Amino acid sequence: MATPYVTDESGKYIAATQRPDGTWRKPRRVKDGYVPQEEVPVYENKYVKFFKSKPDLPPGMNPEDAAAARQQQQAAVKADREGEISGLSKAAKRNMKRKEKRKQQQAQNQHEANKEVETVTKELEKVSVAAEEQNSTTASTDPSAANTDKAKKIKNLRKKLRQVEELQQKVDSGELQNPSKDQLEKLGRAQALREELRQLEADL
């Protein structure tokens, strides 16, 4: 961008400009012959100048002949490109066939895998059904097992109560005058044994 100069009676100077923050730059006086940096031409050595001044065509060559040769060259390049494209299309066709074969093989493998999954799923279902039947059979037999346990407990409680009653009769008759500590504990548990026996008999 060229530097804006202002010329008046006092000479040439750069006008005041505003900064992005809103403040203003002061005008600057410019001496005669001063060239700003952005207006200084780029240095070019003699080789650059020579190549720039060099003509496009060889000396003595007719421009029409050069245009015809250029057209022939462009046509040859176009033909080469078309040949390359046709060659690539054949390769692309081969690649497409390979991809289709891979897809078919993958689909077949997936189908076989699905069959295996279905087989395993059916086997698992059979196992789960068998386990459920076994659990139901066990559950159906659980009440009888519980009743058997209760019957055993009742039998043991009755046996203990008979022992306590026999011990009590011996104490009452005077046959056993000095009962031991264990015998006294048995006599003290008589009421608890009767309550437990009554509850078990009520649950049956």
Cα separation, 120 vs 147, in Å, equals 41
Final residue of a structural domain among 69, 88, 107: 88
Range of the domain at 19: 5-32
* Average pLDDT taken over every residue of the chain: 78
pLDDT value of position 145: 67
The answer to whether residue 105 sits within a structural domain is no
pLDDT digits (tens, 9 = 90+) for 83-120: 655 556 677 777 877 888 888 888 888 888 778 778 87
The answer to whether residue 113 sits within a structural domain is no
Sequence-separated (6 or more) residues with CB below 8 Å from residue 148:
none
Percent of the chain with pLDDT over 90: 2
> Is residue 150 domain-shared with residue 199, that is, in the same domain?
yes
The answer to whether residue 124 sits within a structural domain is no
The answer to whether residue 125 sits within a structural domain is no
Cα separation, 199 vs 204, in Å, equals 9
- Token pair listed for 101: 């074969």
Cα separation, 150 vs 55, in Å, equals 122
Which residue type sits at 137? T
> Is residue 198 domain-shared with residue 159, that is, in the same domain?
yes
> Is residue 28 domain-shared with residue 73, that is, in the same domain?
no
The answer to whether residue 156 sits within a structural domain is yes
Farthest CA pair distance, the chain: 160
CA distances from 184 to 114, 157, 173, 181 (A): 76, 18, 16, 5
- Token pair listed for 110: 């997936």
The answer to whether residue 179 sits within a structural domain is yes
pLDDT digits (tens, 9 = 90+) for 130-171: 777 666 665 455 566 677 888 888 888 888 888 888 888 888
pLDDT value of position 3: 62
The answer to whether residue 127 sits within a structural domain is no
The answer to whether residue 132 sits within a structural domain is no
> Is residue 186 domain-shared with residue 150, that is, in the same domain?
yes
| pLDDT, mean of residues 4-18 | 77
| pLDDT, mean of residues 54-69 | 78
Say how many C-beta atoms besides its own lie within 10 A of residue 53's C-beta.
7
The tally of domains found in the chain comes to: 3
Taking the CA of residue 154 as centre, how many other CA atoms within 13 Å lie in the half-sphere pointing to its CB? 13
In our burial notation (b when 16+ CB lie closer than 10 A, e otherwise), range 88-118 reads eeeeeeeeeeeeeeeeeeeeeeeeeeeeeee
